[in-house]
Chains A and B, each alone.
Chain A
Amino acid sequence: MSPIDDFVHISTGPGSARPAPPSVSGEFLENSKGDRLFTEGLIVESLRRHHPKHHLSVTPAYLCDLIAFSKDNNDVTCLPHTGTQGLRERIFLPPARRYNDDIGGRFLDRIVFGCYDYVFKGNQFLVYVVEGADGAFGKNVYSYILVEDLTVEGKAAPQKLADELIEAATAYGQELHNEVLVFDQGFWQKSADLWHNIQKSNWEDVILEEERKKAIVDDVIGFFDGQERYQEFGVPWKVIHNSSSTKDQANYISFREASYSMAHQE
């Protein structure tokens, strides 16, 4: 290179400028896709191209699991959309106990990519469920809900229809269905096993004087039955009154004596 070469401004030099995308969203997509992992953006762009007459809502599946919602509700139908290839992983979960396990293991389908004809409350949806990498860490599953945009008078707006579905499926996921919530390692986890174990328990197997048993049961049932009385007396619905039977008082006294004697044994 000779020292008398013309100065070339490389940043504005010819050929380096790329055509500006036609819109702000185009610019955003241009910046987001490609070298960066952003499946969500890619899928949205693709859906808009392939379903231009549909309204699209995207919702994270960990909050709103549409597939689980459809399996547990008879008034929801969810069938694989014909003509679309899905990608699902088949997993065999071995039995939790090696010995005397009467259930055996079970198979589980994990959806990586799926497209479904979905009907909820008589409304038609086209639902895509896609697991994608959005960033370097972990993978997220999103549900893409498409509603045909029939902006005809009398028809509910497509966003409203999608919102109804999202709301119902999210509420369903929050509720417990024959499960107990267990807090462990920083997360609330649903446990059906524990719930089923509890169903086997029976007060007849608890050896206590009848009165004492009854006092304990009455405390708990009375608490939940008493919501209106708590309101009536303006007492927070969390305090159990000490005004009940003398038997309880006796229990409490024996508790105090026990705690006293235990403290003095130390």
Chain B
Amino acid sequence: MHDVSKRISPAIESLYVKTFNSFSGPEYGIRQIFMKARQMAPCLLIFEDIDSLVNVSVRSYFLNEVDGLESNHGILMIGSTNHLERLDPGIAKRPSRFDRKYFFDDPIREVCNNPNPCLTLLLVSYWQRI
């Protein structure tokens, strides 16, 4: 968000979604979210803890907005989750929705399992600098 916020012409704005809830229900909220994102594109659209945002009752509506008939050109969506197993396969697995997946493991476990000491060194040298 910091890197893209420095860009100009066109400026890349950041849109951050806390909840789908609205006074007219979550579907209305999702509609408002995507209408604004299309207006603001090119932009980042961030869904924090997407597993708890997209529940069964709004899944169809959400997926429709994500890759339905309306153009979402220039919208880079980022979803984060700590509970991969709770995420719908329609979001986790299908292409053209969330195309890149980055897995950030528990750093300690990652360091222990990593035969390459690179990350350990990075951690240690980072803390030394502070």
Bound-state CA distance A209–B95 (Å) is 26
Cβ of B69 < 8 Å from any Cβ of A? Answer: no
Cβ-defined contact, A220 with B102, below 8 A: no
Cβ-defined contact, B71 with A236, below 8 A: yes
Bound-state CA distance A102–B103 (Å) is 38
Cβ of B63 < 8 Å from any Cβ of A? Answer: no
Cβ of A46 < 8 Å from any Cβ of B? Answer: no
Cβ of B96 < 8 Å from any Cβ of A? Answer: yes
Cβ-defined contact, B5 with A198, below 8 A: yes
Neighbour of A184 across the interface among B18, B23, B99, B119, CB < 8 A: B18
Cβ-defined contact, B72 with A251, below 8 A: no
* Chain A 174-190 near chain B by CB (<8 Å), digits 1 or 0: 10100011111111100
Cβ-defined contact, B16 with A180, below 8 A: yes
- Say which size band chain A's interface belongs to: 35 or more
Residue of B nearest to A266 (CB): B85
Residue of B nearest to A225 (CB): B7
Chain A residues with Cβ below 8 Å from B39 are 174
- Say which size band chain B's interface belongs to: 35 or more
Cβ-defined contact, B16 with A248, below 8 A: no
Neighbour of A217 across the interface among B3, B16, B44, CB < 8 A: B3
Chain A residues with Cβ below 8 Å from B92 are 259
Chain B 1-31 interface residues, beta-carbon cutoff 8 Å to A: 1-5, 7, 11-19, 21-24, 28-29
Cβ-defined contact, A220 with B76, below 8 A: yes
Cβ of B36 < 8 Å from any Cβ of A? Answer: yes
Cβ of B90 < 8 Å from any Cβ of A? Answer: no
Residue of B nearest to A264 (CB): B85
Cβ of A237 < 8 Å from any Cβ of B? Answer: yes
* Chain B 36-52 near chain A by CB (<8 Å), digits 1 or 0: 10011010100000000
Cβ of A195 < 8 Å from any Cβ of B? Answer: yes
Given the known A-B contacts A183-B19, A236-B71, A259-B85, are A209 and B42 also in contact in the complex, defined by CB atoms under 8 Å? no
Cβ-defined contact, B76 with A223, below 8 A: yes
Cβ-defined contact, B15 with A216, below 8 A: no
Bound-state CA distance A37–B36 (Å) is 33
Cβ-defined contact, A224 with B85, below 8 A: no
Residues of chain B touching chain A, judged by Cβ–Cβ distance below 8 Å, are: 1-5, 7, 11-19, 21-24, 28-29, 32-33, 36, 39-40, 42, 44, 71-77, 84-85, 92, 95-96, 99-105, 107, 118-119, 122-123, 126
Residues of chain A touching chain B, judged by Cβ–Cβ distance below 8 Å, are: 174, 176, 180-188, 191, 194-195, 198-199, 201-203, 205, 207-209, 216-217, 219-221, 223-224, 227, 236-242, 248, 251-252, 254-256, 258-259, 262-263, 266
In the A-B complex, the 6 residue pairs with the closest CB atoms:
A186-B22, A255-B103, A240-B99, A237-B73, A255-B101, A184-B18
18 contacts between A and B (CB under 8 A): A180-B13, A181-B15, A184-B19, A186-B24, A191-B16, A198-B2, A207-B107, A207-B122, A209-B119, A217-B3, A224-B74, A238-B96, A240-B100, A251-B101, A251-B103, A255-B103, A258-B103, A263-B85
